[in-house]
A and B are shown apart, each in its own frame.
Chain A
Amino acid sequence: MANESVHERLNREYSAGFITDIESETLPPGLNEDVVKFISAKKGEPDWLTRWRLEAFEHWQKMPKPDWAHVDFEPVDFQAISYYSAPKSQADGPQSLDEVDPELLRTYEKLGIPLHEQEMLAGVVRGNVAVDAVFDSVSIATTFKEKLHEAGVVFCPISEAVHSHPELVQKYLGSVVPQRDNFYAALNSAVFSDGSFVYIPEGVRCPMELSTYFRINAQNTGQFERTLIVADKGSYVSYLEGCTAPMRDENQLHAAVVELVALDDAEIKYSTVQNWYPGDAEGRGGIYNFVTKRGLCRDRAKISWTQVETGSAITWKYPSVVLRGDDSIGEFYSVALTNNRQQADTGTKMIHMGKRSKSTIVSKGISAGGSQNSYRGLVRVTPTASGARNYTQCDSLLIGDACGAHTFPYIENRNPGATVEHEATTSKVSDDQLFLCAQRGIDAEKAVSMIVNGFCKEVFRELPMEFAVEAGKLLEVSLEGAVG
């Protein structure tokens, strides 16, 4: 296979790239104190939250933009972005699915998101999954509310939780990712528009998978959702997040914050399938995905991040776990695929503070086309974390020879009784492998998909069953045309 033909065929179709024609209420571009106050007022927020946002905004103005990631892009003009966009028909807030703009429901249908409870109950689409959908800046509908209510689980837009469960929100918001944590987290704290809130009461096993779908639709808008999940003592929840955006020539900013709190003996499993628009083959357009995700584990708690990242022009994302409790467990399983001109700098941070805390990192990076894919991971063991253990495995797979794979592991061990292991490999899908497959009757697309799926097996195993199938298909679609 000549390299020529690899390049020629590097053009993929982005199947979620439609634009929904609905009336939106959108703030003019620009960011100042008034915009922050406007967003807060729009949501009828209490004073403490308005002040909290303003504090974050003040810090943000003084903070330097991070420039250490292995990504290269034109600086973002934060004054050219609109910080609030809501479908107009939402102004009064729909009380049930029947009141949701049918055009919007069709959008979700196109995305294959099962908003209709009857379909879901019948298991037609995905089985037992409750969905919260965030469209541009506001949350559209949360299904299955009743069933969750019976179990005592709270699953609602965070804008609603501010009013319905103010004590929980005030206690935990910013407790894992403080306002001034980093540049994008500070920006998010100032202007976050909506997101999901989850509370699982003590000892409760959440009766179904919880799921949020994010979609950026409006032009020149940023999306700044904020998700807060609190698992009380001995509880369990599995949460899935999916994302798409329409094809547009301009870059769009997505700066989300996700905070997880796992109290003693609780377990949170957080899975992401990220398929934001990656830009076209020449690198025009696409989402800038600058996300801060972090979880806090108390004693014997467990947080597991699983991510399948195939979209976005630029991904800057490090789902992390602070292992504060003794015997706590942090896991990070990641597949990051880049094609064409995509750039990803992603990995995790495992901060060991508790005794015998354990972490596992399995990262699979796949680079195709002219893309750049970096793993960046930090394992920090503090002096208090006696008997801590970390195992890191970091594998890169290259398809074609115009792409790059990079690994930046940082290990800071301040406890001589801790064990930290790191393994890394780099391999390439070779022409000889593809020819062996062809000679056995397997065409190139199928062969690449088989090889890539084999490479990602350890991570896919961690995804909830129905999403593992979806993730496999997504990789196949994302790699279409990656071989000639």
Chain B
Amino acid sequence: MSVLEISNLCAEVDGKAILKGLDLTIEAGEIHAIMGPNGSGKSTLANVLSGKPGYEVTGGSVLFDGQDLLAMEAEERAHAGLFQAFQYPVEIPGVSNMEFLKTALESAAKAHGEEPLSTAAFMKMLRSAAAELDLATDFLKRGVNEGFSGGEKKRNEILQMKLLAPKLALLDETDSGLDIDALAVVGNGVTAFHKEDPTRSVLMITHYQRLLNHIVPDIVHVLADGRIVESGDKSLALALEEKGYAWLNKA
């Protein structure tokens, strides 16, 4: 079954049409990448899917794992297994990473009618996940993203993704602001996340081909003016890198 099925999606921000009839289907286990010029609607797509306030859906439908995604509150989408790694993760001073993740997992357990993990089991899981991402233990005690470097913030997003174990991970320009080493850590984190359970799906939004060297996509899409205008395999990303987006308009 498809994990995500977007049909003719139209959305506005402040009365301005951004998405203009977007179609996209992702099957369970697939890794997709969306590329496209600035202002084409890449981040709008991610935010509409995760339910960020301020975006108005004016048409179309989105099925997530067979459910009507657009009818759900943002936290329900999270509970259903949708995860968004943010381009600019915000800070929450005073709330430790540990506490934040524990609250998130408890909310998910409650929504699924399950018993929450014991504190000991939670800590064990958290420590091992942090170690895989090269995050020190004191990092977990610090406020959420408080005073983190750009790289730490992104690694923290991947840590949250690992623990919440979603069905679909939306990576919104996760590669922006990362140096080469951090990019490798994040790339390996996402690849490991996918390997751990091959039914998990990933939708990467990126400007650059370089992320795709670390996370190899099954399908690459090009988004322009609110629609998918071209889809292909990994070679499409390379062609874009070489020729730029203008080449598509001529084609």
Contact = CB atoms under 8 A, between A and B. Distances in A.
Contacts of A436: 86, 89-90, 92, 144
A439 interface: yes
Nearest to B164: A440
Nearest to A454: B94
Interface string B92-129: 11111001100110011001000000000000000000
Given A431-B53, A450-B99, A441 B78 contact: yes
A61 interface: no
Interface string B132-165: 0000000000011000000000000000100010
A433 B86 CA distance: 12
A441 B143 contact: no
B103 A455 contact: no
A428 to B, nearest CB: 11
A7 to B, nearest CB: 15
A438 B47 CA distance: 12
Contacts of A473: none
A32 interface: no
B153 to A, nearest CB: 11
B75 A2 contact: no
A435 B73 CA distance: 11
A435 B50 CA distance: 10
B53 A451 contact: no
A441 B99 contact: no
A451 B99 CA distance: 11
Contacts of B52: 435, 439
A438 B51 contact: yes
Contacts of A438: 51, 73-75, 78
Nearest to A452: B94
- Chain B: interface residue count, which band? 20 to 34
A442 B53 contact: no
A250 interface: no
Contacts, number: 75
B94 to A, nearest CB: 3
B84 interface: yes
Interface in A1-26: 1-2
Contacts of A443: 73, 75, 107
Contacts of A437: 92, 100, 104
B90 to A, nearest CB: 4
B79 interface: yes
A446 interface: yes
Given A433-B90, A440-B164, A454 B143 contact: yes
A450 B53 CA distance: 21
A398 to B, nearest CB: 13
Given A438-B73, A439-B74, A450 B103 contact: yes
A435 B75 contact: no
Given A441-B107, A454-B92, A454-B93, A435 B143 contact: no
Interface string B166-199: 0000000000000000000000000000000000
B90 A440 contact: no
Contacts of A450: 95, 99-100, 103
A146 interface: no
Scoring B51, B92, B103 by chain A CB atoms within 10 A of each residue's CB, the highest score goes to B92
B86 A446 contact: no
Contacts of A442: 75, 103-104, 107
B204 to A, nearest CB: 17
A440 B160 contact: yes
B179 to A, nearest CB: 24
Interface in A435-480: 435-443, 446, 450-451, 454-455, 457
21 contacts: A433-B90, A433-B91, A436-B92, A437-B104, A438-B75, A438-B78, A439-B51, A439-B83, A439-B86, A440-B104, A440-B160, A440-B164, A441-B79, A441-B108, A441-B111, A441-B164, A442-B107, A443-B73, A451-B92, A454-B93, A457-B94
Given A432-B90, A438-B74, A446-B107, 10 more contacts: A430-B90, A433-B90, A435-B52, A435-B74, A436-B89, A437-B100, A438-B75, A440-B104, A443-B75, A455-B94
Which 10 A-B pairs rank lowest in CB-CB distance, beginning with the nearest? A454-B94, A441-B78, A438-B74, A454-B95, A440-B104, A441-B107, A432-B90, A438-B75, A455-B94, A441-B108
